[in-house]
Amino acid sequence: MNHRHGTPGTFYDGKVPSDVGRVHMANERLRTALARNRWTVSGFADALTVDHKTVERWMTKDRTPHRKTAIMAATLLREDPAYLWPDLGSRVVSDETHGEIITVYTERSSVPNSLWLSLLRAATESVDILVYAGLHLPEANPTWPQEIQKRCEDLVKVRLAFGDPESPNVRARGDEEGVGDGLAARINYALTWHRPIIGCPNLDIVFHSTVLYNSILRFDDQMLINPHIYSMPAFRAPVIHLRRIEDGPLFETYAECFERIWADSRPLDPKGEVSYGARRLPQ
User: How high is the pLDDT of residue 89?
Assistant: 55
As annotated, the residues of the chain forming the CATH 1.10.260.40 domain(s) are: 1-91
The band of 122, judged by pLDDT with boundaries at 50, 70 and 90, is: very high
What pLDDT is stored for residue 212 in this prediction? Answer: 86
* Start-end of CATH 3.30.870.10 domains in the chain: 95-280
Is pLDDT above 60 for 235?
A: yes
Q: Coil, strand or helix: which one is 166?
A: coil
pTM listed for this prediction: 0.65
* Residue range 138-147: mean pLDDT, rounded: 94
At residue 276, does pLDDT exceed 70?
no
Q: Which CATH class is domain 95-280?
A: alpha beta
Confidence of residue 14 (pLDDT cuts 50, 70, 90): very low
pLDDT at 202: 97
Q: Whole-angstrom Cα distance, residue 247 to residue 251?
A: 10
- Give 224 or 66, the one with higher predicted confidence: 224
Three-class DSSP category at 275: strand
For the sheet with 157-163, list strands across it.
101-105, 239-243, 222-227, 214-219, 126-130, 157-163, 203-208, 266-267
pLDDT digits (tens, 9 = 90+) for 185-217: 989 999 999 999 999 999 999 999 998 899 999
Q: Which residue, 17, 90, 88, 20, is CA-closest to 59? A: 20
Q: Which CATH number fits domain 1-91: 1.10.260.40, 3.40.190.80, 3.40.50.970, 3.40.1350.10?
A: 1.10.260.40
For residues 12 and 18, is the Cβ–Cβ distance under 8 A? Answer: no
SS3 33: helix
